[in-house]
Amino acid sequence: MKILLNNNSLFKSLRPFNDIGFVPTMGSIHEGHLSLIDRSNKTCKKTIVSIFVNPKQFNNKKDFKNYPTNIKEDIKILKKTKKVDFLYIPKFKDLYSNNKKSNIKITKKDKVLCAKYRKGHFEGVLDVMGRLTNLVNPKKIFMGKKDYQQYFLIKNYLKNKYKTSIIPCRTIRNKSKMALSSRNNHLDLYGIKKASFLSKSLIKLKRNLKNSKKIKKNLRIKMKYFEKLLKIKIEYLELRSIKNLKISNNIRDSRLFVAYYIDNIRLIDNF
């Protein structure tokens, strides 16, 4: 695994290759990231992973400062997989030196779920993903369905600009069904138990949902119920179409999207 610390070494190292699989991350590598790497390794000739905690996508400065980082451990884990050919760890200036102001705007119809609650977040995500794609020029980018709205917006944003295809990959969960996430590192055992309980309950709830005009109303009642029971704050609990992320009354081709806070840690998932 070759570590690339600036754009010069990135260009030099990638130039000979055109079948490149790319796994962009913010580090604190876990099994979720490793599943994307595995997919890339099986599909593409070369796999490149990036680690960059992008300040522009954090709508909350404290959240950025507290984002878990552990680059030494990450390098160790990634090396051990023997599936990563290149690890790109850019500095801020490697991505933003051209200083071109981005004019990315999330349209009104897309301002739902996290885009509604995290102002400027996806504008920052799309900006950095455009820059990374431009530099790495991958054939395929592997992304987790855990962050479904992120996958959905990036796919639509990149599709007219680059030939790169975006490959959605399944969500990796722990034994008690909680989705793996770097943010889980901030939870104590009690927090993990609450998140696991909620995940199991929402899997069951999704399974038992019946098509009905009342789904939206029923989900609001469930949301209040879980908030009270677990003493947590739920930002949204909504059934939406996976095709366009519109509110859905039909369980086919729809997923149950949730964002919630446990001890001020914001977690998202979908079922």
Q: Which stretch binds ligand AMP (CB under 6 A): 57-65, 109-117, 179-187, 190-198?
A: 179-187
Residue 172 found at the interface with ligand AMP (CB under 6 A) = yes
Burial 190-224, CB ≥16 within 10 A → b, else e: ebeebbbbbbebbeebeeebeeeeebeeebeebbe
The reply to whether 127 sits near ligand AMP by the rule CB under 6 A is: no
Instruction: Give yes or no for residue 44 binding ligand AMP (CB under 6 A).
Output: no
**Residue count at the site for ligand AMP (CB under 6 A)?**
17
Q: Smallest distance from the beta carbon of 136 to ligand AMP, in angstroms?
A: 14
182 binds ligand AMP (CB under 6 A): yes
Residue 203 makes contact with ligand AMP by CB under 6 A? no
- 14, 20, 22, 32: which one contacts ligand AMP (CB under 6 A)? 32
Among 34, 143, 195, 198, binds ligand AMP (CB under 6 A): 143
Catalytic: 186? no
Among 77, 106, 179, 202, binds ligand AMP (CB under 6 A): 179
Degrees to nearest 5, angle at CA 72 with 57 and 87: 65
- Rule CB under 6 A: is residue 133 a binding residue for ligand AMP? no
Give the span between the Cα atoms of 200 and 109, in whole angstroms: 30
Catalytic positions, written as ranges: 33
Residues that bind ligand AMP (CB under 6 A): 25-26, 32-33, 35-36, 143-144, 146-147, 169, 171-172, 179-182
